[in-house]
């Protein structure tokens, strides 16, 4: 039996996983992204993150809708040995102060070096950004296309016991709390779930959960990427 990958990144770069991602959305023509295309885009974004000063152990926060850019940025973050943080990009028409307070607390807790998110959200919390001196805020349009920078793979892949992702709780009964997930914890959880559910590369998954949701991130993204299942988002 082949040795299981130690990280989701290992599964993708080592060819263990041949996962494809089909993106669907309102008003958007469906399209399929191959493993090779995903890694090429992630490699370009990793080069850009490195140019922005992201190093091993730094946190990269995304406030993006489900998209190629979001998935590729998560993988690019891992390629640098950095830690991904996903947050809701939705700015509500009502209760703006509640949303502003939530984003402020997420930033204060995660203390990311780079945030990739919309200008409308940035403008909401502009006065608070100075409290994190090293923070850089970049728009989704700043993420480079395939072909930018050094070819994949990037230079500092994570170790299994390195932190991979900061998951925030829902905050239903109080303020959201940060939970740090290691790479090996994600892999062990995914492999156990896949074995219990009898999932493998012959299967197909569809998920409508956002990637800032714990089930959306682990069950709806990490499971297909690690097992090689086709994924529709």
List the single range of 150-154, 189-193, 203-207 with lowest mean pLDDT.
Answer: 150-154
Give the bridge partners for 3, in sequence order: none
Query: Is residue 154 included in any domain, yes or no?
Result: yes
Query: Is residue 18 included in any domain, yes or no?
Result: yes
Q: What angle do CA 98, 142, 166 make, to 5 degrees?
A: 50
Give this prediction's pTM: 0.92
Query: Is residue 1 included in any domain, yes or no?
Result: no
* pLDDT value, residue 2: 60
The count of domains in the chain is: 1
Query: Is residue 3 included in any domain, yes or no?
Result: no
Mean pLDDT (whole number) for 121-125? 84
Query: Is residue 92 included in any domain, yes or no?
Result: yes
Tell me the per-residue pLDDT of 9-40, one tens digit each, with 9 for 90 and over. Answer: 888 877 667 778 888 876 667 889 988 899 89
How far, CA to CA in Å, does 71 sit from each of 59, 175, 210, 217, 230?
16, 26, 11, 10, 14
Structural domain for 214, as ranges = 8-228
Tell me the per-residue pLDDT of 36-58, one tens digit each, with 9 for 90 and over. Answer: 899 899 999 999 999 999 999 99
Query: Is residue 60 included in any domain, yes or no?
Result: yes
What is the DSSP annotation of 102-114? HHHHHHHHH--SE
CA-wise closest residue to 69 among 45, 50, 48 = 45
The CATH number given to whatever domain includes residue 200 is 3.40.50.12780
Query: Is residue 2 included in any domain, yes or no?
Result: no
């Amino acid at each position: 039996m082949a040795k299981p990958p130690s990280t989701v990144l290992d599964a993708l770069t080592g060819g263990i996983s041949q996962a494809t991602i089909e993106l669907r959305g309102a008003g958007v023509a469906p399209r399929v992204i191959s493993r090779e295309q995903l890694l090429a885009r992630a490699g370009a974004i990793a080069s850009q993150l490195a140019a922005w000063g992201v190093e091993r152990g730094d946190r990269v926060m995304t406030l993006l809708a489900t998209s190629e850019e979001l998935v590729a940025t998560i993988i690019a973050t891992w390629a640098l040995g950095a830690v991904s943080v996903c947050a809701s990009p939705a700015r509500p028409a009502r209760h703006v102060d509640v949303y502003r307070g939530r984003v402020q607390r997420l930033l204060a807790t995660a203390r990311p070096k780079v945030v990739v998110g919309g200008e409308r959200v940035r403008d909401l919390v502009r006065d608070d950004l100075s409290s994190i001196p090293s923070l850089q805020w970049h728009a989704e349009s700043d993420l480079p296309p395939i072909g930018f920078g050094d070819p994949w793979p990037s230079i500092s892949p994570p170790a299994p016991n390195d932190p991979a992702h900061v998951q925030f709780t829902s905050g239903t009964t109080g303020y959201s709390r940060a939970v740090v997930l290691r790479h090996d914890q994600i892999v062990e959880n995914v492999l156990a779930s896949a074995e219990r559910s009898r999932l493998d590369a012959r299967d197909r998954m569809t998920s409508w959960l956002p990637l800032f949701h714990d089930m959306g991130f682990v069950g709806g993204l990490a499971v297909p990427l690690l097992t090689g299942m086709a994924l529709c988002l």
